[in-house]
Chains A and B, each alone.
Chain A
Amino acid sequence: MIAFENVAYSYGGGDLLSEVSLRLAPGSFHFLTGPSGAGKSTLLKLAYAELLPTTGRVTLFDRDVTSLSRDDVARTRRRIGIVHQDCKFLDHLTLAANMALPFTVSDRESDPQDMDDLLGWVGLNHLANAYPPQLSGGERQRAALARAVIVDPDVILADEPTGNVDWEMSLRILTLLVELNKMGKTILVATHDLNLIRQAKAQIQARVLRIAKHRVQLAGADL
């Protein structure tokens, strides 16, 4: 689904990532870890074509990202659910309207009952008509996750999805991600929270990738 072949990304004259090769197989669950500034967010941005590799090749759904037009990138992102640590919303729209955005931008809409179900899945039914500034950090993260999955994407990329929430909420979000993976979704989660990774590995077969010295390595069982 997503493949990196000997990818390097340079910024400001220095290599942020180099010789990165990895492949996210359908239905796999990967964690991406490493210290702050190691390049986790950059790798995720390369994975949804926000950035283009300096050298090497990134393939999304069998298409080289450098061959994608801007419209192709937009279409490809409808197959990828993206969750950020500082999840952004359109503050003038209600939570329900924000969650439906992936449909809205393609001139489609969802059935209200289905939307209720999705809101219920992330425990936000009671906040459907609330506005994003009224939400807590945990509620925003769950809303972002719901928005990311509303179009039934093939892949979910999450960048520090538990970075701004307490441990209890982290576990709740992890549970949602695990549930999605069990539905067959391919998941890649960038996090520096090793406890979260240990918790996940207790539930599913997750592979852990670690960025060190600009390169991505498969982490051992010592996590």
Chain B
Amino acid sequence: MRFPKAKPASPATRALQVVPPSGPTAWLTTFTAGAMTFLCVFALALSLASGRLADRWSEALAKTATIRLSAPAEQVQLQTDAILATLATTPGVASFRLIDEAETRALLEPWFGPGLPVEALPIPRLIELVEAEPPYDSQGLRQRLAAEAPGAVLDDHTRWRRPLAEAAGRIRLLGVLSIALIGAAMAAMITLAARAALATNSQEIRVLRLVGAKDSYIARAFVRRFTLRTLGGAAVGAAAGMAGVAALPAADAAGGFLTGLGFTGTGWLWPLALPALAALVAFLATRRAAFQKLRELT
């Protein structure tokens, strides 16, 4: 008898499944990864949509306010001129403009239909102004308008846009937090599944240790398997989630927040990154669990 000579392992030998390929935790890992990634896609969509909304509102917040003038017909032009003169001398006002009848008609058209006789209706005259940096003193402006044009009301959009923008920002934060929690929950589930798999295969692990396997070799077998299972499950979950988001109604100009829920442009790349991220989470969670459990088992 002669002892076999060793040579570097071929890819087939390296890929040898030294732990049994199936087990009760196999489906659990794949299912968990799929379900969590599916949820993650929606959390991501919510977060991105909230971000867009917050940006839009913040942008609008930084721009405009409106002065609404309701006055007797013979006073309208007089007070309009007074308002314009006041604005021209107000520090903190970057620009202002009188909204003409055509523009007013366009604004009202969605509610009253085309061909509205604006000139025959007691519709307030609107003046749009844009804040400068630093902004104007709204309280001071109100007092001056009250003195110069008693029918003028400063409609400061910031008073209602700011809380909405803040709310949108919070929703974005909640979305990010949800993604983090989903990731943590997935890591916990995969850790449990990995520990269960290691415990189930304790006999095989003892055999491997007995023939000289290092912990890193045994861990590698489990880590590889759980990472691939997670990657597969997460890919299916991400695809299903993206299909679900794509099936949501498209955002339009008149649409609200819900119709704007989804991905736009390069935003579609984010959910594509989720399977890789899930696989990374599985890799780290399984590796940590494997080394811990191996120290307990042998």
Contact = CB atoms under 8 A, between A and B. Distances in A.
B214 A70 contact: yes
17 contacts: A74-B209, A74-B212, A77-B210, A88-B207, A90-B20, A92-B17, A97-B16, A102-B212, A103-B4, A105-B208, A114-B4, A117-B2, A117-B4, A118-B3, A118-B4, A150-B3, A151-B212
A108 B16 contact: no
B121 interface: no
Nearest to A105: B213
A170 to B, nearest CB: 19
B13 A104 contact: yes
Given A70-B214, A109-B9, A101 B1 contact: no
Give the contact-size bracket for chain B. Answer: 20 to 34
Contact of A108 (B6, B20, B203, B210): B6
Contacts of A151: 3, 6, 212
B97 interface: no
A158 interface: no
A103 to B, nearest CB: 6
B204 to A, nearest CB: 5
A101 B209 CA distance: 11
A92 B8 contact: no
Contacts of A82: 210-211
Given A88-B203, A110-B4, 7 more contacts: A74-B212, A102-B212, A105-B213, A110-B5, A110-B6, A111-B4, A114-B3
B14 A117 contact: no
The 7 closest A-B pairs by CB, nearest first: A114-B4, A110-B4, A105-B213, A152-B3, A78-B212, A121-B1, A108-B6
A107 B14 contact: yes
Nearest to B215: A70
A121 B14 CA distance: 26
Of the candidates A89, A105, A147, the one having the most CB atoms from chain B within 10 angstroms of its own CB is A105
Interface in B5-42: 5-10, 13-14, 16-21
B6 A104 contact: no
Contacts of B211: 77-78, 82, 101-102, 105, 147
